[in-house]
């Protein structure tokens, strides 16, 4: 009888302690802990060449912009809480901020919903002056508080093509090392036709060679007349990245963006509100599991 009472007392204490731990887990506030976080302004090139379908998702062809969206979704899931992400769009020669950087965990649903709205229907120009767009992205990032690093996703195709006699020098005007970031090259290395998209987002065939300004019109007789086709212009983007002190990466898979820009060199160590409710909850579950685990030992048969 006494052993039964002792067992019941142990069970009661185990249950009471587990309930207390679960109550603590329910009301436990976030605790400030140092953590590596990231602040990024993601700039999406929404010019027409980004509609080239030279990527595949789940076996189906998708555009460069759609693939960049999927890579950004993966990034939001991978970034630690406390990190901040904002959106911007580029076309013509300007980078326009769309959403100031916000905390990725608290505003995850808002970030996903707004990301889905970034497409070619926002386009205000058919030009694509990449160098100027990168310049404006740096200026835009400088206005964020705290300053965000830049991630510029583009195929790198300048339209109209650059005049080799007068290469742009505006990047030289930017103060060095004030903004860090990445240029992310989107697209395959093999040139593909560029879809012609109207203002409503409907495809109207493809751009033809005689509808696009070719390098020969600027006196460049060495470059082939293929500006109506598009491939990632990696050497150009690498050169721009070097001028700015940025890094360059090629968008090869949905996870490649996250893998590149979660570089520890871009991490910012800062106190971040952290949920630790799982700790007392886990101890409570473990306590109950140990206390009430079944006895699998084979019982000895009763003596006759």
In a domain, 61, yes or no: yes
For residues 31 and 20, what is the distance between their CA atoms, to the nearest angstrom?
Answer: 19
pLDDT at position 246, please?
94
When pLDDT is averaged across residues 91-97 and rounded to a whole number, the result is 93
Q: Is the pLDDT assigned to residue 200 strictly greater than 90?
A: no
Contacts of 207 (CB under 8 A, 6+ apart): 48, 193, 194, 195, 196, 228
Q: What is the CATH number of the domain that holds 179?
A: 3.40.50.410
Residue 170 placed within a domain: yes
pLDDT score recorded for residue 4 = 45
Least confident of 91-100, 133-142, 274-283: 274-283
* 204 band by pLDDT with thresholds 50, 70 and 90: confident
Chain CA centroid to CA 60, Å: 22
- What is the rounded average pLDDT for all residues in the chain? 86
**Structurally, how many domains does the chain consist of?**
1
Average pLDDT over residues 178-197: 94
**pLDDT of the residue at 162:** 87
- Poorest-pLDDT segment among 15-29, 157-171, 288-302: 288-302
Could you check whether the bond before residue 146 is cis, i.e. omega within 30 degrees of 0? yes
Average pLDDT on 288-300 reads 63
Q: Which of 202, 89, 185 is nearest to 136 (CA)?
A: 89
Domain assignment present for residue 254? The answer is yes
User: 82 in a domain, yes or no?
Assistant: yes
Over its C-alpha atoms, the chain yields an Rg (Å, rounded) of 28
Q: The pTM is what?
A: 0.80
Q: What pLDDT does residue 304 have?
A: 45
Closest CA to 139 of 184, 94, 103, 183: 94
Domain ranges, residue 252: 32-271
User: Positive or negative, the Cα torsion across 101, 106, 112, 117?
Assistant: negative
Question: Residue 277: inside a domain, yes or no?
Answer: no
Q: Is residue 304 part of a domain?
A: no
Closest alpha carbon to 148 in 40, 25, 28:
40
For residue 287, being part of any structural domain is answered with no
Instruction: Read off φ and ψ for residue 298, nearest 5 degrees.
Output: -70, 130
Q: Does residue 158 lie within any of the structural domains? A: yes
């Amino acid at each position: 009888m006494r052993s039964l009472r002792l067992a019941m007392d142990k069970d009661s204490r185990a249950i009471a302690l587990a309930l207390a731990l679960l109550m603590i887990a329910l009301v436990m506030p976030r605790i400030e802990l140092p953590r590596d976080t990231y602040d990024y302004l993601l700039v999406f090139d929404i010019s027409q060449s980004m509609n080239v379908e030279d990527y595949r998702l789940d076996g189906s062809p998708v555009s460069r912009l759609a693939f960049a969206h999927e890579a950004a979704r993966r990034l939001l899931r991978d970034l630690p809480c406390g990190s901040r992400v904002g959106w911007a769009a580029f076309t013509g020669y300007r980078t326009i901020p769309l959403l100031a950087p916000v905390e990725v965990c608290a505003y995850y649903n808002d970030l996903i919903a707004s990301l889905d709205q970034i497409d070619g229907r926002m386009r205000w120009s058919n030009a694509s002056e990449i160098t100027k767009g990168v310049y404006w992205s740096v200026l835009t990032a400088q206005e964020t508080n705290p300053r965000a690093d830049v991630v510029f996703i583009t195929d790198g195709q300048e339209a109209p093509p650059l005049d080799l006699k007068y290469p742009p020098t505006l990047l030289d005007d930017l103060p060095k090392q004030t903004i860090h970031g990445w240029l992310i090259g989107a697209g395959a290395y093999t040139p593909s036709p560029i879809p012609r998209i109207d203002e409503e987002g409907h495809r109207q065939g493809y751009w033809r060679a005689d509808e696009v300004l070719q390098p020969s019109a600027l006196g460049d007789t060495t470059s082939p007349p293929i500006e109506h086709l598009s491939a990632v212009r990696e050497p150009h983007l690498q050169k721009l990245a070097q001028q700015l002190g940025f890094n360059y990466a090629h968008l090869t898979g949905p996870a490649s963006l996250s893998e590149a820009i979660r570089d520890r060199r871009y991490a910012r160590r800062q106190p971040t509100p952290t949920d630790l409710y799982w700790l007392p909850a886990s101890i409570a579950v473990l306590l109950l599991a140990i206390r009430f685990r079944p006895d699998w030992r084979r019982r000895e048969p009763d003596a006759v």
